Structure 1
Amino acid sequence: MSIITIARQYGSGGRQIGQDLAQKLNVPFYDKQLVAIAAKKSGMSEELFQKADERHTSSLLYSLVMGNYTFGVPGTAANLPLNDQLFLLQTQIIREAAKKGACVVVGRCADYILREFPHIFRVYLYADKDCRTRHAIDEYGINEKKAADIVAKIDKQRAAYCNFYTSTKWGDPVNYDLCLNTGSISAESAVQLIMDASQMKP
C-alpha cells in the first residue's frame, strides 16, 4: 500500500479528500495535527506554530540541510526562526510516520520530504479560482467579500513555502504522479481516482 501525499491549491478540497481517503484506506492521516505534534515534541506553543505553519522565512538554511538534519537534543537549533524550527520538526515527524507504513499526508512539502521513500504516490489538487473561492465561502466560512483575495494570498504562501524549502516548483505537474481538477469531479470521485491510480503505480 502506498504512502500518499497531497499538495493542494487553497479551496480545492484537499483536507476533506485526504481525510476521506485515509478513512477509506484505514491508514493514518496527517494535516494540521502535525503542528500539534511538533509543538508537543518541542515543548513550544501550538498557537505560535500555527501562525508559522506553511510559511517560509528568508533563511537559506534549508538549501544546505534539507534531508540531512536530525532534530535531537531539546533546544537544538533554537536560534533558528520559528518557521524553520517547525519545518525541521514536521520533516522529522513526516519521515517517522512514513517509516511506520502507509499513510496520507496533506501539504507540508511531504512529496519532497519523502521523495526517497519507496511506494510514494504524489497527488496535486487544483481547480479554477471561482470554484475555489466559492468552496472557501461555503465550506470554510470565509467572508464573501474577502474570499478571492484570501484564496490568492494562501496560494501564494504555499507556493513560496514549497519553492523556498525544496528544489521543486509547487504545482508543476512533473513533480506529481497524479494531478486532479477537483472543480470538475466530486470529492468522492477524487478519492476513488486517487485510490485506483495509486494501485497502478509500479
Structure 2
Amino acid sequence: MSIRHGLLALLEHGPRYGSQLRSDFESRTGATWPLNVGQVYTTLSRLERDGMVAQSGEDDAGHALYVITETGRTELKSWFEAPVDRSSPPRDELAIKLAMAIGAPGVDVRAVIQSQRHHTVKAMQDYTRLKVQALAEIEGRAKGADARERDVAWLLVLEQLIFQTEAEARWLDHCEARLIRLSVTAERRAAQHPNTAAPLLGQPSPPVSSEARSGAPERPPG
C-alpha cells in the first residue's frame, strides 16, 4: 500500500495537518488499512525531504499544515497513470501456509483449507452487508461533494474486498479438489509401491495386505 501517494492525493484537495490526513485517509478507505499519526508524520517528513510537500503555516488551533508541491503533483500524476506492478507480488500468508502444510507431519491440509474457507466466506458476507449500507448512504440522502466522494471511495474499496474474498474462496475450493485428486493418485501408487511417499493430505493410508497387493482375495482370520 502506498501511503505516501495516498497522502499526496489528499493534499491535492488542499492544506492538511497530520491527524486530519489520517482521518481523511481512513474515511475514504473505511479504515480498512488504519494509520497511526506517527506513521503519517514519518511519511510527511520523507515527502518533505524529497521536495513533494512543504509546510505552510498553521491553522487556528496551531496545527502545522502541509501542502503539495509541483514535484509532488508530478509524482502523483505518474502514480495515477502507471499500473500497479504485479511482477513482485506481496507475500500472501495463506498461500505460504498451504505451501508449508503440504507434507507437514501431523497436519491435515483439508482441515486447514476448511477452516480458512469458513473465515473467508464470513468475511465476504460481512463485506457484502457493508456494501448494502454504503449504497444506502450514497442513494439515501443528498450530501455535499466531499461526503459523497468519501462514500463512493469506500464503496470501491468494499467491492474490491468482496471480489478478493470471492476469488480466495474459489481458490480454496480448487486447492482442495486438486489435493484430493493428487492424494488419490498417491494412494494408488502406495498400494502398488509400498515405499512411496504418504498422501498429500496428511492422512496416512490404511495398511495394504500382501494379498491385496498381489491381487488375491484376503482370507478372513481364524
**Higher RCO, 1 vs 2 (CA within 8 Å, ≥6 residues apart):** 1
Instruction: From the two aligned structures, give the one with the greater helix fraction.
Output: 2
Bin of the TM-score, shorter chain as denominator length: under 0.3
Relative to the length of structure 1, the TM-score reads: 0.23
Structure 1 or 2: larger strand share? 1
- Mark the structure with the bigger radius of gyration: 2
